[in-house]
Protein backbone atom coordinates (compact mmCIF):
# COMPACT_ATOMS: atom_id res chain seq x y z
CA UNK A 1 0.00 0.00 0.00
CA UNK A 2 1.31 3.40 -0.93
CA UNK A 3 0.84 5.15 2.38
CA UNK A 4 1.36 8.69 1.16
CA UNK A 5 -2.20 8.68 -0.16
CA UNK A 6 -3.67 7.20 2.98
CA UNK A 7 -4.22 10.31 5.07
CA UNK A 8 -5.79 12.28 2.27
CA UNK A 9 -9.37 11.87 3.33
CA UNK A 10 -11.03 11.72 6.70
CA UNK A 11 -12.45 8.32 7.73
CA UNK A 12 -15.46 7.22 5.75
CA UNK A 13 -18.59 9.20 6.44
CA UNK A 14 -16.89 11.93 8.46
CA UNK A 15 -15.34 14.18 5.86
CA UNK A 16 -18.35 15.18 3.82
CA UNK A 17 -16.71 14.43 0.50
CA UNK A 18 -18.52 12.21 -1.97
CA UNK A 19 -17.56 8.57 -1.50
CA UNK A 20 -16.51 8.20 -5.10
CA UNK A 21 -13.70 10.71 -4.62
CA UNK A 22 -12.47 8.56 -1.78
CA UNK A 23 -12.58 5.52 -4.06
CA UNK A 24 -10.27 7.21 -6.55
CA UNK A 25 -7.75 8.02 -3.85
CA UNK A 26 -7.95 4.47 -2.58
CA UNK A 27 -7.19 3.28 -6.08
CA UNK A 28 -4.15 5.56 -6.20
CA UNK A 29 -3.14 4.33 -2.78
CA UNK A 30 -2.54 0.84 -4.11
CA UNK A 31 0.53 2.29 -5.83
CA UNK A 32 -0.38 0.26 -8.90
CA UNK A 33 -2.39 2.48 -11.21
CA UNK A 34 -4.70 0.34 -13.33
CA UNK A 35 -3.44 -0.30 -16.85
CA UNK A 36 -5.27 -1.82 -19.79
CA UNK A 37 -4.59 -5.33 -21.02
CA UNK A 38 -3.03 -4.05 -24.21
CA UNK A 39 -2.48 -0.93 -26.27
CA UNK A 40 -5.51 0.64 -27.95
CA UNK A 41 -5.53 1.49 -31.64
CA UNK A 42 -7.32 4.54 -32.99
CA UNK A 43 -7.68 4.47 -36.81
CA UNK A 44 -6.65 7.88 -38.11
CA UNK A 45 -9.80 8.20 -40.24
CA UNK A 46 -11.91 8.68 -37.16
CA UNK A 47 -10.37 12.12 -36.83
CA UNK A 48 -11.39 13.34 -40.30
CA UNK A 49 -14.11 11.12 -41.75
CA UNK A 50 -17.05 13.25 -42.85
CA UNK A 51 -19.71 10.58 -42.24
CA UNK A 52 -18.41 9.94 -38.74
CA UNK A 53 -18.37 13.66 -38.08
CA UNK A 54 -21.99 14.01 -39.21
CA UNK A 55 -23.01 11.08 -37.03
CA UNK A 56 -21.22 12.60 -34.04
CA UNK A 57 -23.03 15.88 -34.53
CA UNK A 58 -26.39 14.18 -34.89
CA UNK A 59 -26.11 11.40 -32.33
CA UNK A 60 -23.69 12.84 -29.75
CA UNK A 61 -23.96 16.62 -29.86
CA UNK A 62 -27.62 17.02 -30.86
CA UNK A 63 -28.97 14.48 -28.39
CA UNK A 64 -26.95 15.36 -25.29
CA UNK A 65 -26.95 18.58 -23.27
CA UNK A 66 -24.40 21.27 -24.00
CA UNK A 67 -23.35 23.99 -21.55
CA UNK A 68 -23.67 27.23 -23.51
CA UNK A 69 -22.78 29.89 -20.93
CA UNK A 70 -22.85 30.78 -17.23
CA UNK A 71 -26.27 31.68 -15.88
CA UNK A 72 -24.83 34.82 -14.28
CA UNK A 73 -24.27 36.57 -17.59
CA UNK A 74 -28.03 36.43 -18.19
CA UNK A 75 -29.06 37.28 -14.63
CA UNK A 76 -31.54 40.08 -15.41
CA UNK A 77 -34.93 39.58 -16.92
CA UNK A 78 -34.79 40.70 -20.56
CA UNK A 79 -31.13 39.68 -21.01
CA UNK A 80 -30.52 38.03 -24.36
CA UNK A 81 -27.56 36.25 -25.90
CA UNK A 82 -27.19 35.00 -29.46
CA UNK A 83 -25.24 31.72 -29.65
CA UNK A 84 -24.31 30.30 -33.04
CA UNK A 85 -21.52 27.83 -32.27
CA UNK A 86 -23.59 24.64 -31.99
CA UNK A 87 -24.63 24.72 -35.65
CA UNK A 88 -28.09 25.96 -34.64
CA UNK A 89 -28.97 29.67 -34.40
CA UNK A 90 -29.84 29.89 -30.70
CA UNK A 91 -31.21 32.86 -28.79
CA UNK A 92 -31.00 32.60 -25.00
CA UNK A 93 -33.46 34.84 -23.17
CA UNK A 94 -34.25 35.42 -19.49
CA UNK A 95 -38.03 35.95 -19.63
CA UNK A 96 -40.19 38.14 -17.41
CA UNK A 97 -40.88 35.26 -15.02
CA UNK A 98 -37.11 34.84 -14.55
CA UNK A 99 -36.88 31.59 -16.50
CA UNK A 100 -34.23 30.94 -19.12
CA UNK A 101 -35.56 30.10 -22.59
CA UNK A 102 -33.59 28.84 -25.58
CA UNK A 103 -35.31 29.85 -28.82
CA UNK A 104 -34.28 29.32 -32.37
CA UNK A 105 -33.28 32.80 -33.47
CA UNK A 106 -35.56 32.60 -36.48
CA UNK A 107 -38.63 34.70 -37.21
CA UNK A 108 -41.79 32.70 -37.93
CA UNK A 109 -42.81 35.06 -40.77
CA UNK A 110 -40.12 34.53 -43.42
CA UNK A 111 -37.27 33.19 -41.39
CA UNK A 112 -35.18 36.30 -40.72
CA UNK A 113 -32.58 36.26 -37.96
CA UNK A 114 -34.53 37.77 -35.11
CA UNK A 115 -31.84 39.18 -32.82
CA UNK A 116 -28.59 40.28 -34.40
CA UNK A 117 -26.61 41.85 -31.55
CA UNK A 118 -23.36 40.20 -30.52
CA UNK A 119 -22.81 39.65 -26.82
CA UNK A 120 -25.36 40.17 -24.07
CA UNK A 121 -28.13 42.71 -24.79
CA UNK A 122 -31.32 43.77 -22.98
CA UNK A 123 -34.77 43.73 -24.56
CA UNK A 124 -38.36 44.09 -23.45
CA UNK A 125 -39.71 42.53 -26.66
CA UNK A 126 -38.15 40.75 -29.62
CA UNK A 127 -38.83 42.65 -32.85
CA UNK A 128 -37.82 41.19 -36.20
CA UNK A 129 -35.82 43.74 -38.24
CA UNK A 130 -37.39 42.65 -41.56
CA UNK A 131 -41.15 43.41 -41.17
CA UNK A 132 -41.28 44.06 -37.43
CA UNK A 133 -43.24 41.04 -36.24
CA UNK A 134 -43.01 41.36 -32.48
CA UNK A 135 -42.59 38.57 -29.92
CA UNK A 136 -42.72 38.63 -26.13
CA UNK A 137 -39.75 37.38 -24.07
CA UNK A 138 -41.75 34.17 -23.68
CA UNK A 139 -41.53 33.67 -27.46
CA UNK A 140 -45.21 34.31 -28.19
CA UNK A 141 -46.10 36.44 -31.19
CA UNK A 142 -47.78 39.64 -29.96
CA UNK A 143 -47.95 41.99 -32.94
CA UNK A 144 -47.96 41.83 -36.74
CA UNK A 145 -47.97 45.15 -38.64
CA UNK A 146 -50.88 45.42 -41.14
CA UNK A 147 -52.22 42.12 -39.86
CA UNK A 148 -55.90 42.59 -40.94
CA UNK A 149 -54.97 43.26 -44.56
CA UNK A 150 -52.08 40.84 -44.96
CA UNK A 151 -52.71 37.88 -42.70
CA UNK A 152 -56.46 37.48 -42.15
CA UNK A 153 -56.16 33.69 -41.89
CA UNK A 154 -53.36 33.51 -39.36
CA UNK A 155 -54.16 33.14 -35.68
CA UNK A 156 -51.64 35.24 -33.83
CA UNK A 157 -52.14 33.25 -30.61
CA UNK A 158 -50.97 30.07 -32.32
CA UNK A 159 -47.60 31.42 -33.38
CA UNK A 160 -44.52 31.38 -31.20
CA UNK A 161 -40.79 30.99 -31.62
CA UNK A 162 -39.45 27.46 -31.91
CA UNK A 163 -37.94 26.48 -28.58
CA UNK A 164 -35.28 24.04 -27.42
CA UNK A 165 -35.18 22.21 -24.07
CA UNK A 166 -33.11 24.28 -21.65
CA UNK A 167 -32.12 24.03 -17.98
CA UNK A 168 -30.03 25.93 -15.44
CA UNK A 169 -27.79 23.77 -13.27
CA UNK A 170 -24.41 24.09 -11.53
CA UNK A 171 -24.22 27.70 -12.67
CA UNK A 172 -24.51 26.88 -16.39
CA UNK A 173 -27.28 27.15 -18.96
CA UNK A 174 -27.61 23.74 -20.64
CA UNK A 175 -29.42 23.28 -23.93
CA UNK A 176 -30.51 20.26 -25.91
CA UNK A 177 -30.60 20.75 -29.70
CA UNK A 178 -33.26 18.08 -30.17
CA UNK A 179 -36.58 19.90 -29.82
CA UNK A 180 -38.55 16.71 -29.21
CA UNK A 181 -36.32 15.35 -26.45
CA UNK A 182 -36.56 15.92 -22.71
CA UNK A 183 -33.67 17.50 -20.84
CA UNK A 184 -32.92 15.99 -17.45
CA UNK A 185 -29.44 17.14 -16.53
CA UNK A 186 -29.25 15.33 -13.21
CA UNK A 187 -29.90 12.06 -15.07
CA UNK A 188 -27.12 12.93 -17.51
CA UNK A 189 -24.66 13.87 -14.78
CA UNK A 190 -25.47 10.94 -12.49
CA UNK A 191 -23.21 10.83 -9.45
CA UNK A 192 -20.93 13.50 -10.89
CA UNK A 193 -23.61 15.98 -9.80
CA UNK A 194 -22.61 15.36 -6.16
CA UNK A 195 -18.95 16.14 -6.99
CA UNK A 196 -19.94 19.39 -8.69
CA UNK A 197 -22.02 20.34 -5.66
CA UNK A 198 -19.13 19.53 -3.35
CA UNK A 199 -16.78 21.73 -5.38
CA UNK A 200 -19.55 24.39 -5.44
CA UNK A 201 -19.43 24.80 -9.20
CA UNK A 202 -22.67 26.77 -8.99
CA UNK A 203 -21.17 29.33 -6.59
CA UNK A 204 -18.11 29.93 -8.76
CA UNK A 205 -17.84 33.20 -10.64
CA UNK A 206 -16.75 33.75 -14.22
CA UNK A 207 -13.40 35.57 -14.13
CA UNK A 208 -12.17 35.31 -17.73
CA UNK A 209 -13.08 33.66 -21.00
CA UNK A 210 -11.28 33.03 -24.28
CA UNK A 211 -12.21 31.40 -27.57
CA UNK A 212 -9.77 29.26 -29.55
CA UNK A 213 -10.29 28.20 -33.14
CA UNK A 214 -8.38 24.93 -33.28
CA UNK A 215 -7.68 23.28 -36.65
CA UNK A 216 -8.19 19.80 -35.23
CA UNK A 217 -10.92 17.24 -34.68
CA UNK A 218 -12.62 17.65 -31.30
CA UNK A 219 -11.56 14.14 -30.23
CA UNK A 220 -7.93 15.00 -30.89
CA UNK A 221 -8.26 17.87 -28.42
CA UNK A 222 -10.11 15.67 -25.94
CA UNK A 223 -7.34 13.05 -26.08
CA UNK A 224 -4.88 15.50 -24.54
CA UNK A 225 -7.02 15.79 -21.42
CA UNK A 226 -7.28 12.04 -20.89
CA UNK A 227 -3.72 10.91 -20.36
CA UNK A 228 -1.17 12.12 -17.84
CA UNK A 229 1.72 10.79 -19.95
CA UNK A 230 2.46 14.13 -21.63
CA UNK A 231 2.30 16.32 -18.52
CA UNK A 232 5.97 15.87 -17.55
CA UNK A 233 7.08 16.04 -21.18
CA UNK A 234 5.04 18.43 -23.33
CA UNK A 235 4.42 20.71 -20.34
CA UNK A 236 7.91 20.44 -18.87
CA UNK A 237 8.43 24.21 -18.85
CA UNK A 238 4.98 25.03 -17.47
CA UNK A 239 2.89 22.49 -15.53
CA UNK A 240 5.32 19.64 -14.95
CA UNK A 241 6.73 20.78 -11.57
CA UNK A 242 3.24 20.76 -10.05
CA UNK A 243 2.34 17.16 -10.92
CA UNK A 244 3.56 13.61 -10.50
CA UNK A 245 4.27 11.44 -13.52
CA UNK A 246 2.16 8.36 -13.05
CA UNK A 247 -0.50 8.86 -10.41
CA UNK A 248 -3.57 9.07 -12.61
CA UNK A 249 -6.89 7.34 -12.09
CA UNK A 250 -9.99 7.13 -14.28
CA UNK A 251 -13.56 6.52 -13.37
CA UNK A 252 -16.32 5.92 -15.91
CA UNK A 253 -19.70 7.06 -14.68
CA UNK A 254 -22.50 6.50 -17.16
CA UNK A 255 -21.53 8.41 -20.28
CA UNK A 256 -19.21 10.71 -18.34
CA UNK A 257 -15.64 10.19 -17.22
CA UNK A 258 -13.78 11.53 -14.21
CA UNK A 259 -10.02 11.45 -13.99
CA UNK A 260 -7.66 12.66 -11.29
CA UNK A 261 -3.95 13.31 -11.41
CA UNK A 262 -1.89 13.65 -8.24
CA UNK A 263 -0.16 16.96 -7.68
CA UNK A 264 3.30 17.12 -6.11
CA UNK A 265 1.72 18.54 -2.99
CA UNK A 266 0.19 15.13 -2.38
CA UNK A 267 3.61 13.64 -1.88
CA UNK A 268 4.25 15.55 1.31
CA UNK A 269 0.69 15.57 2.56
CA UNK A 270 0.47 14.22 6.06
CA UNK A 271 -2.81 15.77 7.04
CA UNK A 272 -6.32 14.57 6.96
CA UNK A 273 -8.05 16.52 4.23
CA UNK A 274 -11.77 16.82 4.25
CA UNK A 275 -12.40 20.10 2.46
CA UNK A 276 -12.79 20.72 -1.26
CA UNK A 277 -9.95 23.26 -1.05
CA UNK A 278 -7.60 20.72 0.56
CA UNK A 279 -8.42 18.08 -2.01
CA UNK A 280 -7.97 20.54 -4.89
CA UNK A 281 -4.46 21.33 -3.67
CA UNK A 282 -3.56 17.65 -3.85
CA UNK A 283 -5.45 16.25 -6.81
CA UNK A 284 -6.52 17.82 -10.08
CA UNK A 285 -9.81 16.41 -11.28
CA UNK A 286 -10.94 16.52 -14.88
CA UNK A 287 -14.56 15.76 -15.73
CA UNK A 288 -15.70 14.89 -19.21
CA UNK A 289 -19.40 15.62 -19.41
CA UNK A 290 -20.47 13.78 -22.52
CA UNK A 291 -19.86 14.82 -25.23
CA UNK A 292 -18.51 18.37 -25.34
CA UNK A 293 -18.03 19.82 -21.86
CA UNK A 294 -14.87 19.46 -19.84
CA UNK A 295 -14.13 20.75 -16.34
CA UNK A 296 -10.59 20.94 -14.96
CA UNK A 297 -10.64 21.61 -11.22
CA UNK A 298 -7.34 23.23 -10.18
CA UNK A 299 -6.52 24.55 -6.69
CA UNK A 300 -7.39 28.19 -7.38
CA UNK A 301 -9.79 28.03 -10.31
CA UNK A 302 -11.84 25.78 -12.54
CA UNK A 303 -11.45 25.82 -16.31
CA UNK A 304 -14.73 24.96 -18.02
CA UNK A 305 -14.23 24.04 -21.67
CA UNK A 306 -16.95 23.68 -24.22
CA UNK A 307 -16.14 22.05 -27.54
CA UNK A 308 -18.10 23.12 -30.59
CA UNK A 309 -17.06 21.07 -33.63
CA UNK A 310 -17.39 23.18 -36.79
CA UNK A 311 -16.20 20.43 -39.13
CA UNK A 312 -14.14 17.22 -38.95
CA UNK A 313 -10.94 19.21 -38.56
CA UNK A 314 -12.03 22.46 -36.97
CA UNK A 315 -13.23 22.92 -33.41
CA UNK A 316 -14.15 26.10 -31.57
CA UNK A 317 -13.16 25.76 -27.92
CA UNK A 318 -14.43 28.17 -25.27
CA UNK A 319 -12.37 28.23 -22.07
CA UNK A 320 -14.12 29.89 -19.13
CA UNK A 321 -12.10 30.42 -15.98
CA UNK A 322 -14.22 30.20 -12.83
CA UNK A 323 -13.09 31.33 -9.39
CA UNK A 324 -14.64 30.82 -5.95
CA UNK A 325 -15.67 34.45 -5.56
CA UNK A 326 -15.32 37.78 -7.36
CA UNK A 327 -11.82 39.23 -6.84
CA UNK A 328 -11.68 41.13 -3.55
CA UNK A 329 -8.85 43.45 -4.52
CA UNK A 330 -6.38 44.31 -7.27
CA UNK A 331 -3.81 41.87 -5.97
CA UNK A 332 -6.23 38.95 -6.27
CA UNK A 333 -7.47 40.08 -9.68
CA UNK A 334 -3.87 40.42 -10.88
CA UNK A 335 -2.95 36.96 -9.60
CA UNK A 336 -5.90 35.31 -11.32
CA UNK A 337 -5.22 37.19 -14.54
CA UNK A 338 -1.61 35.96 -14.51
CA UNK A 339 -2.90 32.43 -13.88
CA UNK A 340 -5.29 32.71 -16.82
CA UNK A 341 -2.55 34.05 -19.07
CA UNK A 342 -0.31 31.13 -18.13
CA UNK A 343 -2.84 28.33 -18.07
CA UNK A 344 -4.99 29.39 -21.00
CA UNK A 345 -2.57 30.97 -23.46
CA UNK A 346 0.64 29.07 -22.69
CA UNK A 347 -0.58 25.69 -21.52
CA UNK A 348 -3.96 24.97 -23.07
CA UNK A 349 -3.86 27.02 -26.26
CA UNK A 350 -0.19 26.87 -27.19
CA UNK A 351 0.86 23.50 -25.82
CA UNK A 352 -2.30 21.34 -25.78
CA UNK A 353 -4.40 22.73 -28.64
CA UNK A 354 -1.25 23.50 -30.63
CA UNK A 355 -0.24 19.86 -30.34
CA UNK A 356 -3.69 18.67 -31.42
CA UNK A 357 -3.43 20.89 -34.52
CA UNK A 358 0.01 19.50 -35.37
CA UNK A 359 -1.20 15.92 -34.95
CA UNK A 360 -4.15 16.69 -37.21
CA UNK A 361 -1.75 18.03 -39.89
CA UNK A 362 0.06 14.72 -40.00
CA UNK A 363 -2.97 12.47 -40.14
CA UNK A 364 -3.61 12.45 -43.87
CA UNK A 365 0.06 11.89 -44.75
CA UNK A 366 -0.40 8.14 -44.53
CA UNK A 367 2.45 7.85 -42.03
CA UNK A 368 0.13 6.26 -39.48
CA UNK A 369 -2.80 3.96 -40.06
CA UNK A 370 -3.79 4.41 -36.46
CA UNK A 371 -2.68 6.26 -33.37
CA UNK A 372 -1.57 4.09 -30.46
CA UNK A 373 -2.74 4.65 -26.89
CA UNK A 374 -0.44 2.98 -24.37
CA UNK A 375 -1.77 0.73 -21.60
CA UNK A 376 -1.59 3.59 -19.12
CA UNK A 377 -3.18 6.02 -21.62
CA UNK A 378 -6.40 4.21 -20.86
CA UNK A 379 -8.43 7.40 -20.74
CA UNK A 380 -8.29 7.39 -24.56
CA UNK A 381 -9.63 3.84 -24.67
CA UNK A 382 -12.40 4.76 -22.24
CA UNK A 383 -13.51 7.93 -24.05
CA UNK A 384 -13.23 6.57 -27.59
CA UNK A 385 -15.00 3.30 -26.85
CA UNK A 386 -17.71 5.33 -25.14
CA UNK A 387 -18.11 7.44 -28.30
CA UNK A 388 -18.25 4.33 -30.51
CA UNK A 389 -20.85 2.68 -28.26
CA UNK A 390 -23.14 5.71 -28.30
CA UNK A 391 -22.78 6.04 -32.09
CA UNK A 392 -23.70 2.37 -32.56
CA UNK A 393 -26.69 2.69 -30.26
CA UNK A 394 -27.75 5.72 -32.30
CA UNK A 395 -27.61 3.78 -35.58
CA UNK A 396 -24.14 4.63 -36.91
CA UNK A 397 -21.57 1.86 -37.07
CA UNK A 398 -18.02 3.27 -37.09
CA UNK A 399 -16.89 0.03 -38.84
CA UNK A 400 -13.17 0.18 -39.66
CA UNK A 401 -12.94 3.50 -37.90
CA UNK A 402 -13.81 2.06 -34.49
CA UNK A 403 -11.10 2.04 -31.84
CA UNK A 404 -9.92 -1.44 -30.86
CA UNK A 405 -7.58 -3.18 -28.51
CA UNK A 406 -4.29 -4.36 -30.05
CA UNK A 407 -4.71 -7.81 -28.53
CA UNK A 408 -7.92 -8.32 -30.48
CA UNK A 409 -5.93 -9.03 -33.60
CA UNK A 410 -3.79 -6.21 -34.85
S1 LIG B 1 -39.21 37.83 -41.54
FE2 LIG B 1 -39.52 38.55 -39.58
S3 LIG B 1 -41.07 40.00 -39.76
FE4 LIG B 1 -40.82 39.27 -41.75
FE1 LIG C 1 -1.91 18.98 -21.45
Per-residue pLDDT of the chain (410 residues), as tens digits, is: 344 444 444 445 445 555 556 666 666 666 676 788 999 999 999 999 999 999 999 999 999 999 999 999 999 999 999 999 999 999 999 999 999 999 999 999 999 999 999 999 999 999 999 999 999 999 999 999 999 999 999 999 999 999 999 999 999 999 999 999 999 999 999 988 988 998 899 999 999 999 999 999 999 999 999 998 999 999 999 999 988 886 788 888 899 998 888 887 665 555 556 678 878 888 888 999 999 999 999 999 999 999 999 999 999 999 999 999 999 999 999 999 999 999 999 999 999 999 999 999 999 899 999 999 999 899 999 999 999 999 999 999 999 999 999 975 44
CA-nearest residue for atom 1, ligand 1, is 110
Cβ 147 under 6 angstroms from ligand 1 = no
Q: CA–CA separation, 57 vs 164, rounded Å? A: 16
pLDDT score of 403: 97
**pLDDT score, position 303:** 97
Query: CB of 81 within 8 A of CB of 100?
Result: no
Return the pLDDT at 267: 54
Buried b or exposed e, range 379-410, using 16+ CB within 10 angstroms: bbbbbbbbbbebbeeeebebeebbbbbbeeee
> In CATH, which of 2.102.10.10, 3.20.20.80, 3.40.980.10, 1.10.4190.10 is domain 66-182?
2.102.10.10
The closest-lying atom of ligand 1 relative to the alpha carbon of residue 144 is: 3
Residue 278: the pLDDT is 79
CB of 131 within 6 A of ligand 1: the answer is yes
CATH class of 3-62+190-404: alpha beta
Pocket lining: 133 vs ligand 1, CB cutoff 6 Å: yes
Q: Is the CB of 135 under 6 A from ligand 1?
A: no
Ligand 1 contact, 110 CB (< 6 A):
yes
Q: How many Cβ atoms are within 10 Å of 149's Cβ, its own excluded?
A: 7
Cα-to-centroid distance, 348 and ligand 2 (Å): 7
What's residue 10's pLDDT? 47
The CATH 2.102.10.10 portion of the chain extends over 66-182
Q: Which atom of ligand 1 is nearest to the CA of 107?
A: 2
CB burial string 294-312: b at 16+ within 10 A, e below: bbbbbbebbbbbbbbbeeb
Q: Is the CB of 126 under 6 A from ligand 1?
A: no
Proximal ligand: closest to the CA of 144: 1
Ligand 2 centroid to residue 219 C-alpha, Å: 14
Ligand 1 in reach of 130 Cβ (< 6 A) = yes
Say if ligand 1 is within 6 A of residue 108 CB.
Answer: no
Residues of the chain with CATH 3.90.380.10: 3-62+190-404
* pLDDT value for 59: 97
Residue 269: per-residue pLDDT:
54
**What's the pLDDT score for residue 49?**
97
Q: Are 91 and 45 in contact (CB under 8 A)?
A: no
Amino acid sequence: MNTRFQPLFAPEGTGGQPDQLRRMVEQMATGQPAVDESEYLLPVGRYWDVDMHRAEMDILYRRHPQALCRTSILAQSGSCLVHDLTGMPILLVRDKAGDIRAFLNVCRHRGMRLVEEEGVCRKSTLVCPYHNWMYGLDGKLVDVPKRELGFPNIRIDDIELAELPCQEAHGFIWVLLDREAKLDLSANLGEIGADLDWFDLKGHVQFAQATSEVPANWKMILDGFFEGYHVQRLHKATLAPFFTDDDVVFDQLGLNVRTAIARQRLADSGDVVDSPEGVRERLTFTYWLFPGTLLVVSPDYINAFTFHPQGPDHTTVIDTMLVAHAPQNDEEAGRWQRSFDLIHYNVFEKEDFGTAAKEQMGLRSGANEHLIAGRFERGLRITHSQIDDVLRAGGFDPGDLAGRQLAEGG
